Amino acid sequence: MKKLFLIALMSGMFFTSCTKQESANNPLLAEYNTPFDVPPFEKVKLEHFTPAFEEAMKQHKAEIEAILTNPEEPTYENTVEASYYAGELLGKVGAVFGTFNSVNISDEIQVLAQEIYPKLSAHGDEIRLDPRYFERIKVVYENRDKYELNEEQLFLLENGYKSFIRSGAALPEDKKEILKQINQQLSSLTLQFSQNVLAEVNNFKLIITDEVALSGLPEASIQAAAETAAKDSMEGWVFTIQKPSMIPFIQYADNRELRKTIYDAYVNQGNHDDEKDNKDILAQIVNLRVKRANLLGYENHAAYRTENRMAKNPERVFDLLNQLWEGILPKVKEERAALQAMIDKEGGDFKLEPHDWFYYTEKLRKEKYDLDESEVRPYFELENVRKGIFTVANKLYGITFTEIDGIPVPHPETTVYEVKEADGSHIGLFFMDMHPRASKRGGAWCSGFQGHSFTKDGKEITPLVNNVCNLTRSSGDTPALLSVDEVSTMFHEFGHALDGLFSETSYRAGNIAWDFVELPAQIMEHWAFEPEVLKMYAAHYETGEVIPDELIEKLEKSANFNQGFGLTEILAASLLDMKFHMMTEEDPNLNVMDFEKKYMDEIGLIPEIYSRYRPTYFRHIMGGYDAGYYSYTWASVLDNDAFEAFKETDIFDQVTAKSFRENVLAMNGIKDAMEMYVAFRGREPKIDALLKSLGIE
């Protein structure tokens, strides 16, 4: 998942000067004086944020007020462009706080976040909904032809004007007040939802004291569980619902009841009728989104969210999802039958259930392809995978990555690399934070402390890009050995990083179509398991032996194995997300779990599979993917079609790579998504490559 390098049209992320006293007392209000202007993370303390935000909002408001009271006729330069450079300090403070609130989480920072984010929401609304602001933007927009704007400026102006309309700038004052209240409520509720999920993940522990219960588990998983127990001063072994701990357990543990215990804990996060329960919170969020969409003139939240994306409307989203759903259901039912047959063959007197799927899938994989994932992990040592990713980027784009010290980092586990062009010129910095911990939210994402832009006087600001994952840790003398899915995750997030590093935006503003945003990430996954690429990085961590052809062949043959399950999970979540946000009116009696069950039954989701994310822990729809989780599937059409362009020549064809960089990665956010794609591919995307990869006629 990518945390976008998007800033609202009228907000920036540069630095503005403060008083000497403020600068001396608060590192967030002082010039950083660090290499590459990286935030001085190690100097920042919790008590610095509130005064920094207050000062930053004060400055931002003053800067906007100066624009709005300018007696000169509104022009692109004195209104729109001036707005890009306003809020510079606020953006910087926000970037640091957002980082702390995702990788250095504590009870104190969560309390602070509940105070700060509603204030930021109110601050943003106060600016965006000021009628003077909209009037000036409207004048500029209506006279845009006379300003001789370049392509980027015109694109940002047109989309910025539309965003003002979508933000409620044209509403009467009484409705603006209602909108402000809704936005503040949503800010608080979505944050609380995510905090509850984090608490659930950190609180659950499956404690095992009888060694017999470990039967079937890989030694690395057992050792990691022992280390977790020791860290918590416990006897035995501790397993959690963090995926590096849970996934091997439900894949290999012979104890069926324990598999059920840990998997049920995972799929019922936030669904326990206690103080961390998310059912009512999600119901409130969905209803508030309906209310806001209606207020803004839309039939539902899905119509509001898809309007400025490639899909344009919910109907096109459902067309794609339903086409794939109908194609994949027969596949997943075949997979179910094969797993049940294995259970029956072993004499199991029970029906396949969701917590059995992973376990018997691994058994079937071993039987059909003589492939055990634990056999592959030794070739996917994290550092080797990282080197492989860098090698792929070098062969495609000529860029290099050099680890550097002395750079402030958000957490001690973060490593930093300087990224350079083939000629040695600086591109930006790349940060990597790869392992789970209690102070870090789950999942994987790409964010940035600073995006590409230019200052008013023409100085280039280079990107500071951050990849964050929750991958398997090292254990004892064994280094971090990754699963196939974790390797894909590293390649995926790195694709987002390249999108940020290669950006050629002039301003810290952009308008990326949300259902286009996953293309740069998902296309990178295609290189991960190409035989030529595997030979570059997949080496046994003990012997150094390059992954043998026999194992590569097994990986290739099993590539589509269990694919019905994977796509069914994702499509179910995508459809559920859309269905929630197709509500046209508020429902005070909304029960989100009943809603889920009724809809999953309606579309025919088999009972042996849950949606990838169930309502009470669906964090994606708290962080921008509301009525947008389909974006991964939409982008699958794009990435499969785009990778075909490489396959038609060579997977390392530098002419094709150059075109992808210049037409897609460099332009992302400052040019229409379809125009970018056509400029690269020479035509609009086709679904054929995706259907072929899924084995769907």
The catalytic site residues sit at: 493
Nearest to 187 by CA among 242, 121, 115, 267: 121
CA distance 86 to 123: 13
Asked whether the beta carbons of 128 and 162 are under 8 A apart, the reply is: no
Residue 678 CB-density burial (10 A; 0-12 exposed, 13-18 middle, 19+ buried):
middle
The two beta strands, 464-468 and 445-450, are: antiparallel
Residue 414 phi, psi dihedral angles, 5° rounding: -80, 135
CB 89 within 8 A of CB 55: yes
| Whole-number Å distance between alpha carbons of 305 and 316 | 13
CA dihedral 431, 434, 438, 444 (to 10 degrees): 90
Q: How far apart are CA 206 and CA 208, in angstroms?
A: 6
* Residue 446 to residue 432: CA distance in whole angstroms: 9
- Are 673 and 310 contacting, i.e. CB atoms less than 8 angstroms apart? yes
What Rg do the C-alpha atoms of the chain give, in angstroms?
25
**Structure token pair of residue 351:** 């029906």
DSSP-derived letter for residue 545 is: P
CA distance 356 to 340: 10
> Per-residue DSSP letters for 452-465?
SEE-TT-PEEPPEE
What CA–CA distance (Å, rounded) separates 386 from 654? 21
Q: Buried b vs exposed e over 404-443: b needs ≥16 C-beta within 10 Å? A: eeebbbbbeebbbbbbbeeeeeebbbbbbbbbbeeebbbb
CA distance 691 to 689: 6
Report residue 647 as tokens: 């396959």
DSSP structure class, residue 620: G
**Which residues, in sequence order, are CB contacts of 42 under 8 Å at separation 6+?**
408, 409
Please, are residues 398 and 422 in contact by the beta-carbon 8 Å criterion?
yes
Encoded tokens for 435 = 């392992």
Residue 318 has which token pair?
């459902």
Long-range contacts of 678-686 (CB under 8 A, 24+ apart): 680/642, 680/645, 681/641, 681/642, 681/645, 685/637, 685/638, 685/641, 685/642, 686/637, 686/641
Side chain identity, residue 640: N
Amino acid at 231: K
Gap between the Cα atoms of 124 and 149, Å rounded: 27
Secondary structure (H, E, C), 30-84: CCCCCHHHCCCHHHCCHHHHHHHHHHHHHHHHHHHHHHHCCCCCCCHHHHHHHHH
Report the alpha-carbon distance of residue 83 to residue 14 in Å, rounded.
Answer: 12
CA distance 194 to 281: 10
